[in-house]
Amino acid sequence: MEILRLEDVTKSYFLDGEEIQALRRVNFSLDAGDITVILGPSGSGKSTLLTLLGGLGKPSEGKVWCRGKSLYDLGNEELALWRNKIFGFVFQFHYLMPELTAMENIMLACRIARKPFEECQARAQKLLSHVGLTNRAGHKPGELSGGEQQRVAVCRALMNEPEIILADEPTGNLDLKTAEGIHDVLWEICQKEGRTLIVVTHYEPLAKRADHILSLSGGQVIKKKN
């Protein structure tokens, strides 16, 4: 079942009065449960594409559809509610709250959503167990390694059971061994829970594990199926 679709999406910026097209008439669709890797050199528009997919920016032209809704035809409040319900985000930097423990950081989104404390705690404990950090639940970010911090960030993104996980260079600051561990966690949880996963990366071997590859060049996208 289709979950995301882009129709003739163009995104332009202006720099010193000159128009720069980061994306040009992009068209593709993805089905629920698909794992997709977005590849391309720096400056090719990968992060811009992920931003548009996640309702975090507006295309200059075209439509972004999510579960049959045109995202950017929604009002700001409705878009924010839709974004918080449907998407989970993992960034290159973990952006954890330094004064909160790993458990508290993971539970934060759930508590903001006003879900019962016991429900949030049970979900956070399950995720921590899944990524092998049960014994680190009470530690603050400064007491965790880089890989552990990013595992906590992955758990936070999955906390509210979003349908779509968007990951922008989630292991860009980690060594290869640690990065592969994070990739394993993302793949395993998303496949087990039936989440749709979209990962922006420079790491081409990762594409071999995906259902689809989106290769960006000159602001245009070529969709390939493994």
The per-residue pLDDT for 138 is 92
Model pLDDT for residues 148-200, shown as the tens digit of each residue: 888 898 888 888 888 999 988 877 666 777 777 778 878 888 888 888 999 98
The per-residue pLDDT for 173 is 67
| Parts of the chain with a pLDDT under 50 | none
CB atoms within 10 A of CB 161: 11
The per-residue pLDDT for 207 is 78
The per-residue pLDDT for 154 is 86
Give the whole-angstrom CA distance, residue 25 versus residue 221: 9
The per-residue pLDDT for 105 is 92
Report in angstroms the alpha-carbon separations of 168 from 4, 62, 75, 85, 143: 17, 23, 26, 19, 24
